[in-house]
A and B are shown apart, each in its own frame.
Chain A
């Protein structure tokens, strides 16, 4: 496996000025440490999910790696280049999508934006026409090419944005919340497209998102970041274990009131449906089921790991307690 991204001890610090408390009070400055020493590496052909709560430093990392931002200290190499030192050579090799912002020219038709990018990247006309045709077909945006960008819906715009980021055939794609605000159909097609891109062309993808379905569908490896520090580098199972490895037992019970054994807690109750969270380390699943059968009049039971969203929420709460 060939390593193509390496970040070592990345630190980014910036100053936020706050409003004076009163006219004569000195102006307060707060130093925000967006990144406090983040190190990791990514191999060619991986799709890595880069997760963390709002303000954790995800976008900041992506901006450093795409050469847009110079970190306060630390180094990074992408294709053995330091992005912010050789920005122009570096950005030729990467594609960037910031889901909250568009890189298309607002008052031009989509095709004009693409053609302009072709000139800015100085692409070979014929190769560009070929790439463009493929991508347009793949993302199904043929009908939109002559529409001004300002008149596209969010889903349409996002598909066009993704195509725009791939016209120069980058080997690495940085996706910063690409599915934000999209409907189910658009999300699914975007995910399928990213997966194909990775499988068939070996494009390496670093994906930041809050949509855990994106992560489940695309990423085998995740990096978890909180308050500027890397907290986990591993699989989705590692993530669940970090969150405490709890299980959720959804039970249909007849009795309105029943005792629970130690290690289990009632999370919700609606009619006969009870949701019980338990820790398999202290309470084995068969013990819990047996207990419910004996005391609660058990009719049906399902035992699952908590959803990734719940896992993340639990993790974020833990992080808050540890560092808050």
Chain B
């Protein structure tokens, strides 16, 4: 636990060296938030179709997904990718710790620390916006929603570690870093809220681990899920977390066993 916390703390400190980038990111997310919110206002003017979100909920979902943008598993751990390329991975293996838990600690830090700046900033701004643009949280669901968001972060860090594990099999992590997040972020509801997809599709997608990262907490926080649906979604989050951790551990262990550090 001590090593886990120390590594997470170090990753946090490394992240905090990039404060200007975090602010720039927040500005982008703000701009995209306005864009999406305007688009959905236009959509809803023509009817809600089979969406299971009201306009206010869809707009709030947008703000939350922009505020938690950096929480999504946009890549594996890039420094581990670099270590695999230049052989410093040997030192990772020379530590008296399971690789998986060392990497999970770093992944967790990587996925949560950017939110320390971005999320509060976007929340404050979007809570103060006028009329249809305002973020409206379902206050009674806030505790469950926060807990679900935490589970989402844990799931996202588990996916990050799993992606990192695949680096053992590829010469460069660039490929998987590009393709996996594109697919994953769509399936998670980061690009279009899952509630706006056709009913059959969104019900299927909500069973997948991607929804467990983002759609579940956001749905609860904007009030699109009642208590029962919220608890169901969170049970699924816990199941996926257990599965992803087990899978990630297995992949990293198998990779470390076949790992061959070559050259001087």
Contact = CB atoms under 8 A, between A and B. Distances in A.
A281 to B, nearest CB: 37
Nearest to B93: A68
A70 B257 contact: yes
Interface size class on chain B is: 20 to 34
Nearest to A102: B88
A14 B262 contact: yes
Given A14-B260, A101-B88, A108-B10, A66 B2 contact: no
A87 B6 contact: no
A112 B10 contact: yes
B91 interface: yes
B2 A96 contact: no
Contacts of B91: 96, 98, 101, 103
A52 to B, nearest CB: 12
Nearest to B82: A106
B87 interface: yes
Contacts of A182: none
B46 interface: no
Contacts of A91: 93-96
Interface string A94-105: 101010111101
A92 B94 CA distance: 8
Contact of B97 (A98, A107, A120): A120
Given A102-B88, A103-B88, A116 B7 contact: yes
Interface in B24-57: none
Interface in B221-259: 257, 259
26 contacts: A14-B262, A54-B264, A59-B264, A69-B260, A88-B97, A88-B98, A89-B96, A91-B94, A96-B90, A96-B91, A101-B88, A101-B91, A102-B88, A105-B10, A105-B14, A107-B14, A108-B10, A116-B6, A116-B7, A119-B2, A119-B7, A120-B6, A120-B7, A120-B97, A122-B3, A176-B264
Given A59-B263, A94-B94, A112-B13, 10 more contacts: A14-B262, A63-B90, A69-B259, A88-B96, A98-B87, A101-B88, A107-B14, A116-B10, A120-B102, A177-B264
Interface of B: 2-3, 5-7, 10, 13-14, 17, 86-88, 90-91, 93-98, 102, 257, 259-264
Interface of A: 14, 54, 59, 63, 66-70, 87-89, 91-92, 94, 96, 98, 100-103, 105, 107-108, 112, 115-116, 119-122, 176-177
